[in-house]
Amino acid sequence: MIAIFGIVILALIYKAIIPPSPKICGSPNGPLITAPRIKLSDGRYLAYKENGVPRDEAKHKFVFIHGFDCVRHDVALLTTISPEVMQSLGIYIVSIDRPGYGESDPHPQRTPKTLALDIEELVDQLELGPKFYVIGFSMGGQAVWGLLKLAGAILLTPVTNYWWGSFPANLTKQAYYEQLVQDQWTLRIAHYLPWLTYWWNTQRLFPSSSVATFSEDILFEQDRVLMPIFDSYQSKYRDLVRQQGEYESIHRDIMIGFGTWEFDPMELENPFPNGEGSVHIWQGDEDGHVPVILQRFIAKKLPWIHYHEMKGGGHMFPWAEGMGDKVMKTFLLGEPFVM
């Protein structure tokens, strides 16, 4: 009886910590394929969506990389770029489903570097040419750091990793303990015990990630105004985001974003020493998701980055009225950024 009881307990533990297999798009029991996709060199498929002016008429081509718990439809800035600016500047934006999200195949070995390589293949297969730019929003910023050698970049409140080696310990400690206790545990588990990430984010004994559970406790004033706008926009395809399974989408995102990286972004050299391109970061000082004190340190450590800090700005600032026009005019035309 003791042996049987032990086996039952082990079986329950195994079931709790081992995630179910993903439902691959196009497989017999998987979601339907509705988006255009490219086949990558390793056999995976990457879904994308084209926005703005036609590709062959574009003056400026962008690849947009979405944030946490989003898909290719969630193009931050797209809803706040006016048609006049889109047409006059000839802006074309191709957005993707990151691996495991939407209709892009999961990638169990995904890292920030592999995602950058996926983007390189996309650019080649769509024949975007040698001159293109990348935009990374929130968790989507993880791939941008690995693409700077190829393209100018816009980083919209990019998520920072508390374990990047260049951060002073006292600064990361301060930023880390300013997070909600449940988020501290979520990040700690993702970094030190990633094999428990599925269990932690599905168990009901303790509160897990506030972001994954849509908690309003981390929202400041601007985000409380803008989040309903984003939610209304995303409600049309909410089910698409995690349709292949939570583990290969949001859970793996947390493990990668806050795991051990292959490189430290703050050790990168200026990719454009002759001024042939530029890298910009936009960050709000009331962002409950990304600590502004860490972003300020990055900007100080990498003086070649154009850093724009917005007083009262939250994590969802790209959805503020007119924000897309302002960001594009600053990035492409060099106009001063004014809130």
**pLDDT tens digits for 166-203?**
999 999 999 999 999 999 999 999 999 999 999 999 99
3-state secondary structure of 249: helix
Q: How confident is the model at residue 7 (pLDDT cuts 50, 70, 90)?
A: low
Cα 93 to Cα 61: distance, rounded to the nearest angstrom: 6
- pLDDT for position 139: 95
- pLDDT for position 176: 96
3-state secondary structure of 157: coil
Cα 311 to Cα 339: distance, rounded to the nearest angstrom: 8
- pLDDT for position 303: 96
Sorted by where each begins, the domain ranges of the chain are 1-333
Report whether 327 contacts 337 (CB < 8 A). yes
- pLDDT for position 5: 52
pLDDT at 49 over 90: yes
CA torsion sign for 330, 135, 264, 267 is negative
CA angle, 92 then 95 then 96, to 5°: 155
Cα 118 to Cα 54: distance, rounded to the nearest angstrom: 22
CATH architecture of 1-333: 3-Layer(aba) Sandwich (3.40)
CA torsion sign for 77, 82, 83, 86 is negative
129 backbone φψ class: left, alpha, beta (φ>0; ψ -120 to 50): left
Q: State pTM to two decimals.
A: 0.93
Q: Which of 287, 257, 228 is nearest to 68 (CA)?
A: 257
Phi, psi of 98 (to 5 degrees): -65, 155
Report whether 318 contacts 80 (CB < 8 A). yes
H helices of the chain, in order, are: 2-17, 83-88, 112-125, 141-144, 169-177, 181-192, 197-202, 221-234, 238-241, 252-257, 292-301, 323-333
pLDDT at 312 over 70: yes
